[in-house]
Structure 1
Amino acid sequence: MRGWRAFVVTLAALVAVGVAAPASAAPSPRDISYLLATHQEYLSAIAAGALAAQRGEADEVRRLGQAFVDDHRRLDQELVALAGQLKVPLSDELDRPKQAELKALAEAPAGAGFDQLWITEQIEAQGQLYDGISHELNYGFDERVKNLARGADDVILAHIGELNRADAEVNAPAQ
């Protein structure tokens, strides 16, 4: 009987170790890809939001720009913290395509044209973020990364809704 009990205790310990191991395992390439791409999107949204807060003509564009800075900075801080825990190196420098997009936005003439360009670009950018979140939730492996994506889901959906309302308001045809 003692032998059986020792076997059960040993088996239970091995199962517990086996269950705990994946939590400390390295993230999958899919999860790493999500962290890298999302960090770039957050950095871009922060920079573009700051431009909108400073250069936007419409009050709604300036308000949304500042809200994007605040929201994406918070989301990025959470992402950077998790990436650090998972030992995923992140660059604080935007990649060349994102730099080019920001340069074009910064060089856009102030006024309604800037507002329209910012709204249009952000609708696309927030849509890409949402697609990345959906992809991570459906195909990611690491629960910590998936939880991070879940936490960003509602924020990004709210941004898309606000951008669509702003688009209708700011870019409404003159009557």
Structure 2
Amino acid sequence: MALRAFGVAAVLVAALGAGPAVAGAADAPAAAPSAQDVGYLQAAHQSNLVEIATGQQAQQKGQSQQVKDLGGRFVTDFTRLDQSLQQTASSLGVPLAPADAARQATKQLDKVPDGRYDRVWIPVQQAANKAATANAQREITSGSDPAVKQDASVAAPVLAEHAALLNQAASQI
């Protein structure tokens, strides 16, 4: 079962951690957001959608109240973060892809037997959190658009708090 958790985590990290390719970024006008900014917005949006979807799923499939509560917290926090991110992307003309990674993640987690769900969900969320944190830190360090950097700066402490909550849950479940 541990291998399945790592397989699900690998799907999430692959979908979120590397960041998307930015087509046509070299042809963009000087006022356009940088490839780094576009990549952050697109990857963070996918990450947010995954966290919302898997948070909703945890509220339904989680066995412990702790996992159910974390799922609810993730839905609330990532919905708020994604609303701001979508506004920023819209104002910059950056297209955001649909929730393909979220559908894939929930489909993978649906295969986990209910009795094992919490033990699989937590490491999957830890891997996704690590990828999202790295994406935010890259934007804070290397981004150029102030609004995009602000979104990453707002997300960073939320991600840090989630990491601490996930580590606590991992030690208790």
Fold-level similarity (TM above 0.5): yes
* Cα deviation, residue 141, structure 1: 0.9
Q: Which of the residues 120, 124, 128 maps onto 1:121?
A: 124
| Amino acid paired to 2:126 | I
* Cα deviation, residue 144, structure 1: 1.0
Larger CA Rg, structure 1 vs 2: 1
Pair 1:106-2:110 in alignment: yes
The CA deviation string for residues 99-149 of structure 1, in whole angstroms up to 9 with x for no partner, is 3332110121112x1001110100000111100011111111111110110
Q: Which of the residues 139, 147, 150 maps onto 2:150?
A: 147
Q: SS state of the match for residue 98, structure 2?
A: coil
Q: SS state of the match for residue 63, structure 2?
A: coil
Q: SS state of the match for residue 114, structure 2?
A: coil
Give the Cα–Cα distance (whole angstroms) in 2 for the partners of residues 81 and 90 of structure 1.
Answer: 11
Q: Which of the residues 134, 142, 145 maps onto 1:131?
A: 134
Structure with greater contact order relative to length (CA < 8 Å, sep ≥ 6) = 2
Match of 2:12 in 1: none
* Cα deviation, residue 93, structure 1: 2.7
Match of 1:53 in 2: 59
Runs in 1 of length 4+ with deviation above 6 angstroms? none
* Cα deviation, residue 84, structure 1: 0.4
The CA deviation string for residues 76-117 of structure 1, in whole angstroms up to 9 with x for no partner, is 00000110000101122324xx53332110121112x10011
CA contact (8 A) 2:54 2:105 kept: no
Match of 2:162 in 1: 159
Q: SS state of the match for residue 158, structure 2?
A: helix
Match of 2:36 in 1: 30
Give the Cα–Cα distance (whole angstroms) in 2 for the partners of residues 139 and 38 of structure 1.
Answer: 15
* Cα deviation, residue 156, structure 1: 0.5
| RMSD (Å) for aligned C-alpha atoms | 1.3
| Amino acid paired to 1:67 | R
Q: Give identity over the alignment, percent.
A: 38
Structure 1 residue runs without a partner (length 5+): 1-23, 171-175
The CA deviation string for residues 37-81 of structure 1, in whole angstroms up to 9 with x for no partner, is 010000001000001011100110000001001100000000001
Q: SS state of the match for residue 45, structure 1?
A: helix
* Cα deviation, residue 31, structure 1: 0.3
Task: Give the aligned length.
Answer: 144
CA contact (8 A) 2:50 2:99 kept: no
Give the Cα–Cα distance (whole angstroms) in 2 for the partners of residues 55 and 49 of structure 1.
Answer: 10
